[in-house]
Every structure is written in structure tokens, then in C-alpha cells.
Structure 1
Amino acid sequence: MVPAPIPASETAARPVVPGRRQPDVRLVLGLAVAVAALAAAVVASLAIGARPIPPAEVVGALLGQGTQSVVGIVGELRVNRTVLGLVCGAALGASGALMQAVTRNPIADPGILGINAGAALGVVAGAAVTGGLGLASTVWFALAGAGAASAVILLLSASAMAASSPVRLTLAGVALAAVLSGLSQTFVVLDESILQAYSFWQVGSLTARSVDEVTGVIPLVVAGAVIALLLLRGLDAIALGDDSAVALGVRPGWIRVWSLVAVALLAGTATALAGPISFVGLVVPHLVRGLVGPSLVRVVPLSMVLAPAFLLVADVIGRVIAGGSETAAGVVMAFIGAPLLIVYLAAGRRGGVA
């Protein structure tokens, strides 16, 4: 018997075509927002400062055309800052999202939990050993310091004291950061030759490194980013609980160890480049989750796009708010991020977070 034909009205009413995957509207929208924000931030970073430069002259300066002063400002100073902001922002955004996932703490951040302070201690120790704050001589010390601090935070996050309370883990991280910062100050006091350079570097600025220095350590950031991207599905499984993750074929211990390696590479390199900058890794992942949802497969890559935009905007604000002088990007980020952290903690307290 030949089956009766399906009425055309019923076929037209079917919302999904079998075998065809529907586009994810939130993901497309989130990606569009992040890319547009990054493009706008790059343009602003190149054009806005103590001396505003029209976009047409910016393009000419990038091509080596125009007056010598404009070429010098754009082609050297602002390009250096922009490239540094792109690399450090991507590293801090990814490391913040990873820290929040591994510690199961929504207010985790490499700066708040002491990872950046560990890297900073490594930089100062390296400067004391090598005699200067040059990147080539201190970056490995920064990675060691970030790795050690990451290990401490990972152990604390698994302890009975802090595992059940994001606020307690945050306070423990703040205490760790204070201790490490005190040790850094001790090194500086004992060696006055690095005092001036350290005083400028410790506030977090995008002015300290040239493009050549930045490109020399990009492989470290790329390595950390690749490790992070390879861990994302495992971290999503761990979010369901260790038992569920094991049932899905994931080894939680190894995931956490490699996450520690990725955070150390990302946060340590960013700190060695620009100094300890906090709150980028805290704020941006939350903004991204609001756009694309909680899955780390989406959150981490988009954080690596949106975080550089956030950091570059902070740097641009620092150039123009002081009326001729300059406020470091790390200071601007503190003014932006600290109130947001307070609001989040207050909301969590009302919701029963202890």
C-alpha cells in the first residue's frame, strides 16, 4: 500500500530539517560582539591619546607615511602598546576563565588569588639575580612564581575550608597575594638598583615592552592557550562533579594539573610583560557567559577575544583622564573591577554564598 502524501501545510510547519544543524544564535551574536569590540578597541588604542590622531593619518603612519612625529607616535609607541595589550589581554582572559573553572569559584582571578603576585615575586627575584628587569632574564622566574602560586591555590580550592565557599577561597587568595607582595617589597628594599623600574612596573602598564620583546614570548602564550583549549571539554565534564567526569572518561587530576600549567604560562607571561594587572580575568568571563552561556568551550575562546578589548580600553582611558599625564592600565582596571567584585560579593551574600 502506498502511504498517503503528507500535506504541504504540515511539512511547512516543521521547525527543524532532519540532518541539518541549526545555527546557534547566542554564539554568533557573542562572537560578533567580541570581534566588533576588539576592532574598535584596536582603532581607539592607535588613534586616541594625549594627542588624538585621525584614522586616516593612523593608517598612513602604519604604512610609514605622514609627518615624522605622527609616524613615531603611532608606528612605535601606540603599536607597541596595542600589541602588548592584545597578548596580555588574551592571556589574562583565558587564565581567569580557567581559574574559575578549576577552583569552581566564580570570583577567581589570577590577580585576586595571588597568581600574578607569585609571578611578580618571580620577576623581582630574577631581577635580583640577573641585575635587571629585562624580559629575557626574568620571564622564566615569573613562570616559576606563577606556577608555585597556582599550585597553592589549587590545593586550597580542594581543601575542606575553602572548597565549599568562594568567598573563603578569595580571602585566602588575597592573603597569599599580600604575603607574596611583601616578599617582593623585601627584595626591592634590599636591592635599590631595581627600585625605580619596579615601582613603575608593579602598577601594571602597557608601556614597558617593545614589539620585538613581546613577539619573543608569544610562543609561551600560544602554548598556554593551546593547552587550555585542549582541556575545555574535560573541564566542562568536571563541572558536573568528579564522579560524573570519571564516568565520562575524564581524569580530573590530570585536567587540574594541566590547567595549572596553562594558567602559569598565561598569567606568568602576561605579568612578566606588563606587570600584575588584576580584574581582567574576573570581569571578562562573566560578560562572556552572559552572551554565550556557561560552556567553557565557548567561554574561554571568546574571553581571549574580548579581554584584550577590555584591557586596551582601560589603557586608552588611562591616557586621557589625567590631562596630559598618564594613569596605568592596571590602576584603571582596579577602579573598574573592584566595584564589580563588591557588587558580585554582595549579591552572593544575599543569595546565601558564604
Structure 2
Amino acid sequence: MSPTAVSTAPRSPRRVALTRSTGAFRRFTLLVVISLVLIAAGGILGLMIGSHSIPAGTVLEALRAYDPGIDDHRIVILSRLPRTVIALLVGLALGLAGSLMQSVTRNPLADPGLLGVNAGASAAVVVAIAFLGVSTVQGYIWFAFGGAALTSLLVYMLGSAHRSAATPARLALAGAAVSVALGAVVGAILISHEQAFNAFRYWAVGSTLGRGLDVALVVLPFIGVGVLVSIVLIPSLNAVALGEDVARSIGATPGLARAGSALAVVLLAGAATAAAGPIGFVGLAAPHIVRAIVGPDHRYLIPGVLVVGPAFLVVADVIGRAVVAPQELQTGISVAILGGPLFVALVRSRRMAAL
């Protein structure tokens, strides 16, 4: 037998699968390391950069031995540290929610707004400000979360009405209808209530500025439960990705996977929107970044999004502050500026053109 015949023998499927798995794991490890470095660098720069620049030595001193009598220490601990923590939590929650929605709806452009999260939260905040006199973040965060959760559940119920499965198309149509209806209600209230308009416009732009650690503590349990549900759903999501018939044949339950994903999205996106307002592009961009590097396997996709989402939002927030320093650019605006080109590239890609 010639050496050529030996070298051209086809590799076994098991060996091919093992090679692909090893390559995906290496890319996943590299992605996690890079994301953690970006989070650390962005976090440190976020404590230094702002309307008033603070030297790195002063930042470290404030973290080691906080002195409330020093102005720079108060800025670091009471303002910029909570802003960074909120950015980490919101980035994680929005990225993971977007990943679940894209997987369940099979829509590459799905983000937390698809299930009416932003519309429900906005409507609840407007009602709280206009009719209940709520004026603080700590006050209307509960209304925002409740509105987002109830609206998302309503969309899921409408999408699965008349004993039909909650298909991606039905969920998208139900979400669009509810969002339009609530948007009209919000507009009507804002036109007739100037005070509500002035307070709402600050929240609606999306910002991590002005939120304290108490806000982070409020949303942390909801985000934690959402993360746990998402991790538990990883095998089911991989099965559903093969198609509903194949998923049922291997023992998975597509309906249960969709219901669990909807619950996780409600918890994650609702908490994130309540804490920082309707920040866009994170839920769209983070899953696509991870999927482009490690592939569609949820064993890598879900954990990858848990680090890429926070890194994306923290870096965008720091870039926004650095570009307009000594002014402060709202987080939602800086994320949109950074995510806009990514969105355009996604729409113009061959994969999207084929949809």
C-alpha cells in the first residue's frame, strides 16, 4: 500500500467531532480571557474617567482605604463604582436574554424588545411618574420590572393562544402588536403630563449613571435566577436547535424549553431595563460575537455571553465617557454608537441576505 493511500484515508466521524470540539474549546477559552481582560481594564478606566479625572493611585487608595472626607474617594465609591457594577449586571442580563431569544425564536435580529420588555417597562414607569408621583430610580424600578414582566407574559400568552404553539412568528407578531399599543399609550400620557415627560426622558435614554448599589442589590436576585434557568436549559436549547421533531425524538420538550426561556428573558431583560432603562444593541451584539467565534453550541454560547455582554457594555460606557470628556455621555447613546455599525454589518452579511 502506498503512503499516499494511507494519508488520504478519510478520518472517522468521531475524530472529526473531537477535533471540532477541541477547537471550539480553545476559541472559547481565548474569548473568555480577552473578555475578562476587557472587563478589568474597562472597570479600572471607568473609575478613573469622567467629568473629573482621578489618578489610578487615588482610585486604588479609595478601594483599599475609603475616606469619606476626600472628594475623589466619594466620587469613586459612591458614583463610579456603582455605575460599573450596574453596567456589568445589565450587560450580562441583556446579552443572555438576547441569546435566549435568538435561539428560541430562530430570529438573528431578536433582542429583549421583541417580547415587549421595553414597551412594558416604559408604560409602567410613565404611569408611576404621571399618576403616582414616583420620582426616584429606587421608586420606579419596581414598576419598570413589573411592567416588563407582565407585558412579556402577555406576549407569550397571545403567541400561544387558541391551543397553538408559541412559534417564533407568532411571538414576534404578538410582541410587535403589544409594543405598538403600549407605545401609543405612553405617547398620549407624556403629551399631557410635562412633569412625566421631563422625568421619563432621562430614564428612556438608557443610563447606568446615577444608580446606586441599592439598585444593583434589587435586581441581582432576578438576574441570578435568570442565569440559573438559562444554564439548566442548555441541553434543551441544543436539542431544539436541531428541529422540533428531532428534539422530541431524543427526549426533549420544545414547549418546556420555550416556556423556560421566556421566563429567563422576563427576569433578565426586565431587571436590566428596570435598572438602567431600555439599552439596545447589547442583546443583539453579544450573542452574535460569541456565536461567530465559538459556533452555535449552547454549551459555549451561554457561558460566553456571560462574559462578552458585560465586557461590551463596560467598554462602550468607558469609550462614551472618554470621547466627550469632561462631559458625560449616556450609556444608551454610547452603546448605540458602538453597536450601530455592528448592526449594519449584520444586516448586510450573506447569512442575513439569505433570510
Normalised TM-score (structure 1): 0.82
2:260 alignment partner AA: W
How far is 1:129 from its partner? 4.9
User: Residues of 2 paired with 1:182 and 1:317: CA distance?
Assistant: 34
* Structure 2 CA distance for partners of 1:27 and 1:339, relative to 1, 3 Å: closer
Coordinate RMSD, CA, aligned: 3.1
1:185 maps to which of 172, 184, 187: 187
Deviation per residue, 1:206-250 (Å, 9 max, x gap)? 113111222122111111111111112111111111111112222
Deviates more, 1:321-330 or 1:131-140: 131-140
In the alignment, structure 2 segments of 5+ residues that lack a partner are: 1-14, 16-20
Deviates more, 1:221-230 or 1:64-73: 64-73
How far is 1:53 from its partner? 2.4
**SS where residue 190 of structure 2 aligns?**
helix
Contact 2:125 2:200 in 1 (8 A): no
**SS where residue 32 of structure 2 aligns?**
helix
Q: What is the aligned partner in structure 1 of residue 99 from structure 2? A: 97
Query: Do residues 243 (structure 1) and 245 (structure 2) align?
Result: yes
Query: Do residues 220 (structure 1) and 222 (structure 2) align?
Result: yes
Structure 1 segment 1-354 matched on structure 2, within 5 A: 24-64=25-65, 68-111=70-113, 114-151=116-153, 177-348=179-350, 351-353=353-355
**SS where residue 119 of structure 1 aligns?**
helix
Contact 2:205 2:333 in 1 (8 A): yes
Deviates more, 1:124-133 or 1:271-280: 124-133
Contact 1:278 1:333 in 2 (8 A): yes
Contact 1:88 1:274 in 2 (8 A): yes
User: Residues of 1 paired with 2:80 and 2:63: CA distance?
Assistant: 10
**SS where residue 233 of structure 1 aligns?**
helix
1:282 alignment partner AA: L
Deviation per residue, 1:146-201 (Å, 9 max, x gap)? 234435665788899x9688xx9879866754543332232333443333221111
**SS where residue 339 of structure 2 aligns?**
helix
**SS where residue 321 of structure 1 aligns?**
helix
* Structure 2 CA distance for partners of 1:82 and 1:186, relative to 1, 3 Å: same
Contact 2:50 2:326 in 1 (8 A): no
User: Residues of 1 paired with 2:192 and 2:280: CA distance?
Assistant: 26
User: Residues of 2 paired with 1:99 and 1:133: CA distance?
Assistant: 32
Contact 1:203 1:330 in 2 (8 A): yes
**SS where residue 56 of structure 1 aligns?**
helix
Deviates more, 1:190-199 or 1:75-84: 190-199
User: Residues of 2 paired with 1:299 and 1:169: CA distance?
Assistant: 23
Number of residue pairs matched? 331
In the alignment, structure 1 segments of 5+ residues that lack a partner are: 1-15
Contact 2:38 2:311 in 1 (8 A): yes
* Structure 2 CA distance for partners of 1:33 and 1:324, relative to 1, 3 Å: closer
**SS where residue 251 of structure 2 aligns?**
coil
User: Residues of 1 paired with 2:104 and 2:201: CA distance?
Assistant: 32
2:253 alignment partner AA: R
* Structure 2 CA distance for partners of 1:68 and 1:131, relative to 1, 3 Å: same
User: Residues of 2 paired with 1:164 and 1:312: CA distance?
Assistant: 31
Deviation per residue, 1:48-94 (Å, 9 max, x gap)? 22333232221101123578121122111111111111111111111
How far is 1:346 from its partner? 2.3
Contact 2:50 2:325 in 1 (8 A): no
**SS where residue 205 of structure 2 aligns?**
coil
Q: What is the aligned partner in structure 1 of residue 3 from structure 2? A: none
Contact 1:132 1:194 in 2 (8 A): no
* Structure 2 CA distance for partners of 1:69 and 1:119, relative to 1, 3 Å: same
How far is 1:268 from its partner? 0.8
* Structure 2 CA distance for partners of 1:22 and 1:279, relative to 1, 3 Å: closer
Contact 1:84 1:206 in 2 (8 A): yes
Paired-residue identity, %: 39
User: Residues of 1 paired with 2:191 and 2:240: CA distance?
Assistant: 44
How far is 1:255 from its partner? 1.4
Contact 1:80 1:211 in 2 (8 A): yes
* Structure 2 CA distance for partners of 1:135 and 1:248, relative to 1, 3 Å: farther
1:48 alignment partner AA: I
2:247 alignment partner AA: A
Contact 1:111 1:277 in 2 (8 A): no
User: Residues of 2 paired with 1:334 and 1:191: CA distance?
Assistant: 28
2:86 alignment partner AA: L
Contact 2:63 2:77 in 1 (8 A): yes
